[in-house]
């Protein structure tokens, strides 16, 4: 097995101490020490510049020189290994000072001190390697951080451009859609003459498509406003029970056509709170629409309100197919569908609803189980 080779530079002016150290290091099994030494301070920096040493042993007490000053100067050199200080008995306090200034160990030169040097050198080399590896990793992390910050800045700019584009396109769609809907309504109502049943059926189909596109445009505009921080909320005085009671009748025909049942359980002590009436109504309508849409024919929908200590809560449950555990985290992601069944819509309703609730400093979450339906909850602070 090849021996480990360690190159040591000893800065010590006492030749007797030098011989003791060299004698001990030359008799170590498994390690081959190549020992160099200096007895003139002025040769030190030149020696370090010219050669690579795995460790340096530096005497604190040098005739005509100060070991601590030399140690301080070595900090500005690109050393390949640790510095270990040598001091006489009674100079222990300088050992701690040397460690603070960058030394990796110190040895008191008393009887038999040289026997412990191999262990001191080993520990100093290990600590030095750990520190250098940590510094390398820190440099890599710093470099990666700069790269990530630059990439993040670029992504934010691309996201802003995308949001501006979506908003502009949505605005461009809104005006012609309004004209199309208005013209279709005019024709359906006989404004341009009598309309046959076949013509009315086709016009109703066109009107439904225009309404669906209008909903898409409104969703895209809402997303754009939320992402850009431009969605302004009014501080209306609202009562959640009143919103529920006023909007549930609008779903009567849809529920009847699907032979579904609707149950409601509203808190009797529901207080008024401050929130944007239109936005909270939008959240409620979205959740009820989804519950009806994803429940099968003959299924049931339940709406419940609760007055909690610091907030109010609304629960809307259905008997639909449910959502698998791995998809629950994705259910509020934009443009994402987590069910195999294709339904009409943009995939933006739930993300918008949650964002609106969060903007009100509320919470929204879902519980679901495959084959047993889903329960959506949202809260609003009092």
313: phi then psi, degrees, rounded to nearest 5: -135, 145
DSSP, res 114? G
Task: Pick 120 or 222 by higher pLDDT.
Answer: 120
Computed over every residue of the chain, the mean pLDDT equals 85
Give the span between the Cα atoms of 304 and 35, in whole angstroms. Answer: 84
Distance of CA 271 to CAs 264, 282, 377, 379, 381, Å? 18, 20, 18, 13, 11
**For residues 351 and 292, is the Cβ–Cβ distance under 8 A?**
no
Task: Pick 72 or 304 by higher pLDDT.
Answer: 304
**For residues 197 and 325, is the Cβ–Cβ distance under 8 A?**
no
Give the span between the Cα atoms of 316 and 321, in whole angstroms. Answer: 15
Tokens of 364: 């929204």
- The length of the chain in residues reads 382
Quick one: what percent of the chain has pLDDT higher than 70? 93
Task: Name the helix (H) or strand (E) containing 59.
Answer: strand 55-59
Highest averaged pLDDT of the listed ranges 68-82, 104-118, 218-232: 104-118
pLDDT for the residue numbered 160: 76
Would the pLDDT of 205 be above 70?
yes
Q: Tell me the CB-side half-sphere exposure of residue 265, using CA atoms within 13 A.
A: 9
Task: For residue 84, count CB atoms less than 10 angstroms from its CB and return exposed for 0-12, middle for 13-18, buried for 19 or more.
Answer: buried
pLDDT for the residue numbered 339: 58
Q: What is the DSSP string of 16-42?
A: HHHHHHHHHHTT-TTEEEEEEEES-GG
Q: What pTM was computed for the model? A: 0.54
pLDDT for the residue numbered 41: 61
Would the pLDDT of 171 be above 90?
no
């Amino acid at each position: 097995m090849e021996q480990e080779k360690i190159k040591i530079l000893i800065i010590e002016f006492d030749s007797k101490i030098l011989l003791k150290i060299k004698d001990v290091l030359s008799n170590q099994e498994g390690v081959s020490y190549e020992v160099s030494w200096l007895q003139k301070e002025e040769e030190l920096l030149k020696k370090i510049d010219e050669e690579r040493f795995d460790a340096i042993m530096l005497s604190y007490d040098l005739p005509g020189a100060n070991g601590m000053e030399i140690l301080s100067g070595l900090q500005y050199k690109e050393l390949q290994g640790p510095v270990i200080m040598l001091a006489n008995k009674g100079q222990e306090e300088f050992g701690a000072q040397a460690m603070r200034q960058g030394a990796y160990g110190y040895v008191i030169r008393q009887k038999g001190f040289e026997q412990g040097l191999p262990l001191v050198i080993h520990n100093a080399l290990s600590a030095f390697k750990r520190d250098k590896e940590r510094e390398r990793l820190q440099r890599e992390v710093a470099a990666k951080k700069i790269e990530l910050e630059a990439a993040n800045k670029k992504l934010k700019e691309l996201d802003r451009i995308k949001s501006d584009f979506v908003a502009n396109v949505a605005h461009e769609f809104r005006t012609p859609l309004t004209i199309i809907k208005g013209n279709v309504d005019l024709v359906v109502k006989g404004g341009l003459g009598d309309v046959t049943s076949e013509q009315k059926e086709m016009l109703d189909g066109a009107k439904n498509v225009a309404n669906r596109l209008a909903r898409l445009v409104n969703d895209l505009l809402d997303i754009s406003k939320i992402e850009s921080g431009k969605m302004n909320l009014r501080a209306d005085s609202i009562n959640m029970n009143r919103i529920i009671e006023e909007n549930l009748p609008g779903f009567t025909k849809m529920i009847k056509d699907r032979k579904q049942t609707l149950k409601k359980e509203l808190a009797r002590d529901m207080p008024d709170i401050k929130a944007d009436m239109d936005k909270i109504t939008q959240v409620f309508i979205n959740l009820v629409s989804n519950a009806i849409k994803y429940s099968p024919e003959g299924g049931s929908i339940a709406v419940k309100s609760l007055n909690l200590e610091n907030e109010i809560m609304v629960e809307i449950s259905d008997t639909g197919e449910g959502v698998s555990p791995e998809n629950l985290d994705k259910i509020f992601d934009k443009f994402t569908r987590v069910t195999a069944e294709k339904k009409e819509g943009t995939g933006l309703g739930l993300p918008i609803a949650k964002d609106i609730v969060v903007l009100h400093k509320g919470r929204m979450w879902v519980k679901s189980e495959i084959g047993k339906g889903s329960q959506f909850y949202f809260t609003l602070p009092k």
